[in-house]
Structure 1
């Protein structure tokens, strides 16, 4: 592998500690894994564990992930969580690829040399072109955290929570050129708790998705999965577009259930924010403050709505914000800029008698 390939490589500190599951073995079917964020690590871990079993028919022959990026609040350029995990497990650095695009010719040439029988994606974060999809013998399969054809796209869990769904799930589907439109090999349905947030639900769905994958690998390798996979009904498809940072702001003109669902959906990234006014009756001073709203619930009591329309009150450990339609939202946890997260009681006590109004 010469430098002309122009592929980023990672330096493996302990290159001698290689995994037996990824050592070249002509007897095992080569599989390539594509993933990037922390939730993808769960899937890679399951594949490595399964490939190391005595009766395993496959090996993880390579890993494809996003290039290193700034993490830890932008201070350091670090490899993706998947790359970090692979290096910690002793995966040889020349088996970890991070092309800028999955259609890069140098990368595709390397992929062809590996002769994969199957590619598996789990939150890889890059579009796979036709010339990529034509390489693996048995195709490419994807773990998608929704019940396809619902919520096709970049943010299925976030958009499902934002919509307030009571049921969702995870699908194992073949990858085709059209976004998340391939035939579904298997799926699993779950009830959605009305307090669960996106990071927790994502973790659950990818964990269960990895179990579906390991269960179905034999049928994928022997070809029977293609005959049993169920084509999606495009007429029932819904989209889950990528979240924009400016969606993070809360508008208290909306009803409480809309805001509560948004807080759950955008937890982790980009988070949800609100602007409030802090008033000091003694000095007459007014300060506008930005709050990151972390945890909420829908207020079930009408007693808290008897004050001024814009006044935020405090009751039983929560900040109560009047919302649209005569509803109210209880905010249980907040964070001020540059500060650590705190519960509503600590924030209210810090006001020292000052009033709070929503903006």
Structure 2
């Protein structure tokens, strides 16, 4: 009999060579890192699973040309030769046509990584082994859509990535595994997000990563991960809402201390960015002045040992930085800026352009 056939027996367990069906959900570029690892792992001779479908955000207008383009995950899958008819792009994950197509595939497990849509109960009921999410925080800390941004804004010294079962409540499911990561005081949100998702992959796929984590995917497939997963401590929950990150929140107020502003620049790097208005006086003896709107790209907290001859409210250029006086007698050193419609430039180049 073929190896995939089942022979009834009262004394033996039926064995099938059929690989388990896994559906991946993700949208941005960082999610493609996880998908790449899943593709590579599923291609191994010893693999027990295969990626049978991909769910991602619909095509949208991106880049300066405003062309309608597939999500980075969809584009990556197409480039890998994944069948286009198995890449689903529903507006909402609760659409009945989409759910019907998903049920027809009979997935045993779904894995999500920054998919970007709420998963309704009707979706969560489809895979018998559940849905597992890679979340870039140490749950129950920073539940929500902006965990990396809010962690950086708070100035945390440590964060991490969690592998958890998805339940109807936001990021509240039992945790399978987590890995802690030290946070460099200069790292920005896009770089930290990429780092955390790359850390999240070994949690799932490799049996000896930093000698701390065992291979989690087989335990998810055999059901033991669900049995051993740790419920979250709801008394320690903190939230990381994205809804409140708006262009208005991106303005810097120099009444605040430099460390707070530095953390805000790191947290809001990429989107929505951080901005400041600078008054440029051409001639102190006249009223000739301009207000420039700057996007603040890279900063560091001043060492407070700078000697300045100018007024306490003036911006100075010292060594390689524009030095902004801030609250609490602190200084924010700005290393890179961007004028509207222009490329990112160094503080030195910007300063020289004013002369």
User: Could you report, residue by residue, the CA deviation over 1:190-214 in whole angstroms, capped at 9, with x for unpaired residues?
Assistant: 1111001111110110001011122
- Find the partner of 1:323 among 318, 326, 349: 326
Question: Within 5 Å, which residues of 2 pair with 1:153-168?
Answer: 153-168=144-159
User: Aligned partners of 1:275 and 1:303: how far apart in 2?
Assistant: 23
The aligned residue for residue 103 of structure 2 is 112
Alignment RMSD, CA only? 1.3
Q: How far apart are 1:283 and its partner, in Å?
A: 5.9
Q: How far apart are 1:226 and its partner, in Å?
A: 0.8
- Find the partner of 1:246 among 248, 251, 257: 248
The aligned residue for residue 348 of structure 1 is 351
The answer to whether the Cα contact below 8 Å between 2:304 and 2:330 also exists between their aligned partners in 1 is: no
Question: Within 5 Å, which residues of 2 pair with 1:42-61?
Answer: 42-61=33-52
Q: Secondary structure at the match of 1:294?
A: strand
Q: 1:79 to 1:304 in 2, by over 3 A?
A: farther
User: Could you report, residue by residue, the CA deviation over 1:84-113 in whole angstroms, capped at 9, with x for unpaired residues?
Assistant: 000111111100000000000000000000
- Find the partner of 2:62 among 58, 71, 91: 71
Question: Within 5 Å, which residues of 2 pair with 1:206-355?
Answer: 206-214=197-205, 215-242=215-242, 243-281=245-283, 284-304=287-307, 307-352=310-355
Question: Within 5 Å, which residues of 2 pair with 1:183-198?
Answer: 183-198=174-189
State the TM-score, normalized to the length of structure 2.
0.90
User: Aligned partners of 1:41 and 1:89: how far apart in 2?
Assistant: 11
User: Aligned partners of 1:236 and 1:304: how far apart in 2?
Assistant: 44
The answer to whether the Cα contact below 8 Å between 1:304 and 1:320 also exists between their aligned partners in 2 is: no
User: Aligned partners of 2:175 and 2:116: how far apart in 1?
Assistant: 20
Gap runs ≥5 in structure 1: 1-24, 353-359
Q: Secondary structure at the match of 2:252?
A: coil
Q: How far apart are 1:284 and its partner, in Å?
A: 3.9
The answer to whether the Cα contact below 8 Å between 1:304 and 1:313 also exists between their aligned partners in 2 is: no
User: Could you report, residue by residue, the CA deviation over 1:210-258 in whole angstroms, capped at 9, with x for unpaired residues?
Assistant: 1112231100000000111100001100000002222111111110000
The answer to whether the Cα contact below 8 Å between 2:308 and 2:316 also exists between their aligned partners in 1 is: no
Q: How far apart are 1:307 and its partner, in Å?
A: 3.1
The aligned residue for residue 121 of structure 2 is 130
User: Could you report, residue by residue, the CA deviation over 1:108-146 in whole angstroms, capped at 9, with x for unpaired residues?
Assistant: 000000000000000000000001000001000000000
The answer to whether the Cα contact below 8 Å between 1:305 and 1:328 also exists between their aligned partners in 2 is: no
Aligned residues: 328
State the TM-score, normalized to the length of structure 1.
0.89
The answer to whether the Cα contact below 8 Å between 1:157 and 1:265 also exists between their aligned partners in 2 is: yes
User: Aligned partners of 1:80 and 1:304: how far apart in 2?
Assistant: 50
Q: How far apart are 1:155 and its partner, in Å?
A: 0.3
1:147 aligns with 2:149: no
The aligned residue for residue 10 of structure 1 is none
User: Aligned partners of 2:130 and 2:65: how far apart in 1?
Assistant: 37
Gap runs ≥5 in structure 2: 1-15, 206-214
